[in-house]
């Protein structure tokens, strides 16, 4: 279910790739949803969850790895965090 939801979001919305940009956008309140890969570092997950809780942003933890997310997004690099 969640991969299909991610693919739908990728077609209809402009994604933001990367943890640093996601945290920056969370702080200013511009995000609605965040996808985390299964291989996302724990310190990054902790920070994102903390800011998302304060901002009321939905977090979806995927079973797919960083490499899988890169393939799903049709990018030539690994992706740990995708936000919309």
| Residue-by-residue DSSP string for the chain | -HHHHHHHHHHHS--EESHHHHHHHHHTT--SEEEE-TT--HHHHHHHHHHHHHHT-EEEE-SS-HHHHHHHTT-SS--SEEE-
Q: CATH number for the domain including 42?
A: 3.30.1330.30
- Per residue in 32-76, pLDDT (tens digit) is 999 999 999 999 999 999 999 999 999 999 999 999 999 999 999
pLDDT at 2: 84
Q: Which domain holds residue 56?
A: 2-83
pTM above 0.85, yes or no: yes
Q: Write out the two tokens for 53.
A: 């809780």
The answer on pLDDT for 1 being more than 70 is: no
The answer on pLDDT for 15 being more than 90 is: yes
Alpha-carbon dihedral sign for residues 4, 52, 40, 13 = positive
Number of domains observed in the structure of the chain: 1
């Amino acid at each position: 279910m969640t991969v299909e939801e991610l693919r739908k979001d990728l077609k209809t919305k402009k994604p933001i790739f990367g943890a640093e940009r996601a945290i920056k956008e969370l702080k200013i309140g511009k995000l609605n949803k965040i996808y985390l890969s299964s291989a996302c570092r724990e310190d990054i997950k902790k920070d994102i969850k903390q800011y998302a809780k304060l901002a009321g942003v939905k977090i979806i933890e995927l079973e797919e790895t960083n490499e899988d997310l890169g393939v799903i997004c049709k990018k030539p690099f690994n992706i740990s965090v995708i936000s919309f």
